[in-house]
Every structure is written in structure tokens, then in C-alpha cells.
Amino acid sequence: MDVCCFPDCTTAVSKPHVTCPHHWYALPARVQAAVQERIRGWKDPGAAREFIVSWHRISLQKANQ
């Protein structure tokens, strides 16, 4: 199990999920669709997860500046 990729969230999530349900449904539909498309685009969802988690963290940091 991993934890939600949102800063300060320690909720456990199972692969291939990258966020807890609370944070996932807080994302705009276009962001959800982009994440799902990115995950489907990779043959190994485990490898994609690290990229997506990093992308989420950078996006959230920029949005909160």
C-alpha cells in the first residue's frame, strides 16, 4: 500500500490509485481524465505512479503559490 499523493495526507491507497477518494473527487474532472489517460498509457502502472505522484505534487505546489 502507498499513501495519497496530496501533501500532508497520510491516507493509505492501493495501487493503481494515487490519491484517497476524498482528494480524487476534489480534483476537477479534466485532471481526473488526464491522470487516468496517463495511467492507461503506461504498460506498467507501478512505473507510472511515481511519475504521476511527482506531477501532482509539483502541480499542487505551483497552484498554492
SS3 (DSSP) at 3:
strand
- Mean pLDDT in residue range 30-40: 80
Q: Which of 17-26, 34-43, 55-64 has the highest mean pLDDT?
A: 17-26
* For the chain, domain boundaries: 2-63
Give buried/exposed letters for 37-52 (b at 16+ CB in 10 A, else e). eebeeeeeeeebbeeb
Model-level pTM?
Answer: 0.57
Of 16 and 41, the one with more pLDDT: 16
